[in-house]
Amino acid sequence: GAASGIGRALSGCFAREGAHLFLGAHPAEEAKIKTWADELSGRYGVKTWTFPVDLSHADGPETLYWQVNALGLPTDVLVNNAGLIAYGNLHQIPLDRQEQIIRVNALAYFKLMRLILPDMIKRGQGRVLNVSSVSAFQPTAHHAVYGATKAFVQSLSEAVNAELAGTG
């Protein structure tokens, strides 16, 4: 989710600090993410790679992981930021849209963490930043599935943080 919003802002912060970036975005935002990557490279002198991958596809997270991994460079920080939301009552929002939200906002975060954590543990260093929301802490009428996915991310993040204590 580096093409806009929080993901774009975070990638700018990382680039400003000198981090080289693997930037993911939905395939519909391919031109936008490439333009942003070029801007970051030019402004901050960092290397950038772009990966237009749809994380709502069953193999989307794996595709992203393997494409990045093929470069042979370590990932020091995984920023899980992609997100979808739909406003309306649970019984009125199309089921396929709600399933897509769950796949992107929860399952993709889980899968990417599960794929990359062994690499980080093996190296004895790494960080995961899972972008959540205040919706993780309270019921969120009219976007219940979004709130539920953010509660999942919050709980997963806290549990895995405890599990990884002392691993670097």
Note if 65 is an active site residue.
Answer: no
Cβ proximity of 132 and 82 under 8 Å: no
Name the token pair of 87.
């406003």
From the number of C-beta atoms within 10 Å of its C-beta (0-12, 13-18, 19+), residue 21 rates as buried
* Catalytic one of 44, 65, 87, 146: 146
Nearest residue to 59 via CA among 130, 121, 113, 111: 111
Task: Tell me the C-alpha distance between 154 and 134, whole Å.
Answer: 10
Task: Enumerate the active-site residues.
Answer: 146
